[in-house]
């Protein structure tokens, strides 16, 4: 938070020698440390009007509903999946299967899901900043920057913790404790409900509570913290969420107030404190999703939703919505840029397996809020991170095509990326395919992001679409008053 602005050292990593030292920031003062300490102990005299929140915990008097076998195999309600930690990808979810409530069969949903790459370009083209365009997974490794989770704050007290085995730069193995937590969550959300009243006054009301299972890992790469959640629902849905927190990188400046800034000057960010600019930047998280819906051989279907106009005299209605299913034959058919005004659904189906009424079984990718890269396609950092050119990609499975930014991202020129592979335009129909989803954030810093930014979250869903013959959670019982103990105070303070 107290940057020495404009000091750049260029080192030749092949010869291990310094090449050049540039100091163009001698006139820029180092910011003072006022209001930069984010620890609770430093807030006593600065936030006198903050009212505390009483502690809240979820109680499980009968214990958790999930089990862990061999430290990595999770079984919860109808789900079964494996968790591992990887030095580059962080947490990997594999062999995700769902026990069909009607047949009792364990059905495959996803063979492997993980973060493949994270791209963070800063939007300052000046000498001391233009090169700050990071590929976090390839440059640093997500798990290598993972530290022990904080019990009760990072994860609730009913969480189960998993350790990670990592290696130092010289190959020495060591154990990093409590790097992943698994817990059940209940926030009084509703899984499904309906109230039906009749004319004779009888009322039918059925409500089911929503309880989810969360697998969480947090990686702190330098200044930023990424909160990575895989959330499983008992209706077969998987929600993947990314939370951003930590410290926004700041740039030193001579300005202490916006009134001092000439109108024509571009700060490349926001003045967040005296002598400190929060620089505009993006975050893009590329997810590798090896879907195996009821078998490895799947197809990608784009279901276009378009306005259809009625013929004169056909109906009192002038328009309605019509869907058209388009099966992607090759990779370029599945290169998708999200467009709100030409909406589509995106399905991964098993064309060889049908429901009882004849629909192909499948899973649907449901995007949440997102952002697209606005950089020029020939900008060097964009060439390195060309996987951000689209939000959705589909490739045939290839064991060497795992890292969206390429196997080696250091000094990469962008000749080994997801975009390079996809442009080969290989066949993807009824094959073992990998679905890629790129989640994006534009971050224009504001003063509330200083000195620590409140968590910003976005994500996407993998949702069953004709995977089951009916609602799979009709058999889940409701809660009753006597299911949980009622705690009462035994005295007064």
Concerning whether 136 is annotated as a catalytic residue, the answer is yes
329's tokens: 């034959």
376's tokens: 């020029």
Q: Are 165 and 146 in contact (CB under 8 A)?
A: no
Q: Are 182 and 74 in contact (CB under 8 A)?
A: yes
The CA-atom distances, in angstroms, between 425 and each of 41, 334, 395 are: 57, 10, 9
Q: Which of 224, 226, 255, 288 is catalytic?
A: 224
Strand intervals (E) in 292-376 = 297-309, 319-327, 344-354, 360-367
Residue that is written with structure tokens 């990314």 in the block: 242
Say how far apart CA 120 and CA 124 lie, in whole Å.
Answer: 12
354's tokens: 């049908």
**How many CA within 13 A on the CB side of residue 312?**
0
Phi and psi, residue 436, nearest 5°: -115, 135
Say how far apart CA 50 and CA 34 lie, in whole Å.
Answer: 19
Q: Which of 124, 136, 294, 416 is catalytic?
A: 136
Concerning whether 224 is annotated as a catalytic residue, the answer is yes
111's tokens: 């063979």
Burial class from Cβ neighbours inside 10 Å (0-12, 13-18, 19+) for residue 383 reads middle
Q: Are 110 and 230 in contact (CB under 8 A)?
A: no
Say how far apart CA 245 and CA 388 lie, in whole Å.
Answer: 22
Nearest to 291 by CA among 479, 487, 43, 95: 95
Nearest to 304 by CA among 320, 323, 319: 323
- The number of beta carbons lying within 10 Å of the beta carbon of residue 259 is 6
Whether the bond between 451 and the residue before it is cis, its omega within 30 degrees of 0, is: yes
Say how far apart CA 365 and CA 91 lie, in whole Å.
Answer: 20
Q: Which residues, at least 6 apart from 367, have a Cβ–Cβ distance to it below 8 Å?
A: 338, 346, 391, 437, 460
Q: Which letter does DSSP use for residue 72 in this model? A: T
Phi and psi, residue 76, nearest 5°: -145, 125
The CA-atom distances, in angstroms, between 218 and each of 36, 85, 90, 222, 242 are: 23, 12, 9, 13, 10
Phi and psi, residue 420, nearest 5°: -65, -45
49's tokens: 């009007």
Positions marked active-site: 136, 224
């Amino acid at each position: 938070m107290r940057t020495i602005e404009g000091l750049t050292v260029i080192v030749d990593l092949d010869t291990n020698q310094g090449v050049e030292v540039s100091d163009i920031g001698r006139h820029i003062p180092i910011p003072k440390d006022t209001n930069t300490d984010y620890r609770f102990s430093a807030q006593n005299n600065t936030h006198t009007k903050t009212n505390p929140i009483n502690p809240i915990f979820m109680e499980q008097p009968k214990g958790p509903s999930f089990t862990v076998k061999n430290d990595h195999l999770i079984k919860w309600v109808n789900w079964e999946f494996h968790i591992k930690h990887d030095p580059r990808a962080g947490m990997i979810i594999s062999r995700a299967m769902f026990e069909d409530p009607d047949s009792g069969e364990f059905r495959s949903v996803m063979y492997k899901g993980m973060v493949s790459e994270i791209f963070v370009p800063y939007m300052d083209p000046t000498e001391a900043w233009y090169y700050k365009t990071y590929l976090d997974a390839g440059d640093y490794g997500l798990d290598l920057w993972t530290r022990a989770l904080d019990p009760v704050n990072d994860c609730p007290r009913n969480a189960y913790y998993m350790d990670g085995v990592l290696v130092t730069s010289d190959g020495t193995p060591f154990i990093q404790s409590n790097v992943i937590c698994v817990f059940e969550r209940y926030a009084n959300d509703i899984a499904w409900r309906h109230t039906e009243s009749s004319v004779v006054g009888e009322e039918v009301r059925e409500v089911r509570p929503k309880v989810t299972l969360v697998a969480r890992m947090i990686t702190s790469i330098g200044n930023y913290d990424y909160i990575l959640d895989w959330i499983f629902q008992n209706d077969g849905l998987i929600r993947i969420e990314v939370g951003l927190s930590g410290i926004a990188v700041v740039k030193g400046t001579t300005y202490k107030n916006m009134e001092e800034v000439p109108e024509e000057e571009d700060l490349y960010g926001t003045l967040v404190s005296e002598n400190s600019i929060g620089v505009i930047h993006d975050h893009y998280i590329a997810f590798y999703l090896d879907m195996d819906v009821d078998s490895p051989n799947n197809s990608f279907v784009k279901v276009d939703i378009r306005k259809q106009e009625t013929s004169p005299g056909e109906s009192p209605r002038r328009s309605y919505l019509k869907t058209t299913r388009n099966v992607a034959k090759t990779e370029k058919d599945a290169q998708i840029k999200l467009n709100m005004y030409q909406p589509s659904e995106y399905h991964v189906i098993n064309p060889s397996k049908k429901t009882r009424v004849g629909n192909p079984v499948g899973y649907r990718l449901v995007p949440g809020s997102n952002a697209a890269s606005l950089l020029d396609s020939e900008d060097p950092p964009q060439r390195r991170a060309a996987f951000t050119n689209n939000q959705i990609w589909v490739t045939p499975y290839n064991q060497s095509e795992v890292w969206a930014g390429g196997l080696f991202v250091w000094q990469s020129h962008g000749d080994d990326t997801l975009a390079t592979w996809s442009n080969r335009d290989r066949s993807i129909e009824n094959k073992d395919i990998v679905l890629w989803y790129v989640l994006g954030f534009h971050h224009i810093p504001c003063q509330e992001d200083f000195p620590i930014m409140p968590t910003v979250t976005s994500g996407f869903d993998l949702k069953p679409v004709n995977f089951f013959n009916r609602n799979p959670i009709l058999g889940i019982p409701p809660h009753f008053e006597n299911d949980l103990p009622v705690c009462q105070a035994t005295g007064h303070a």
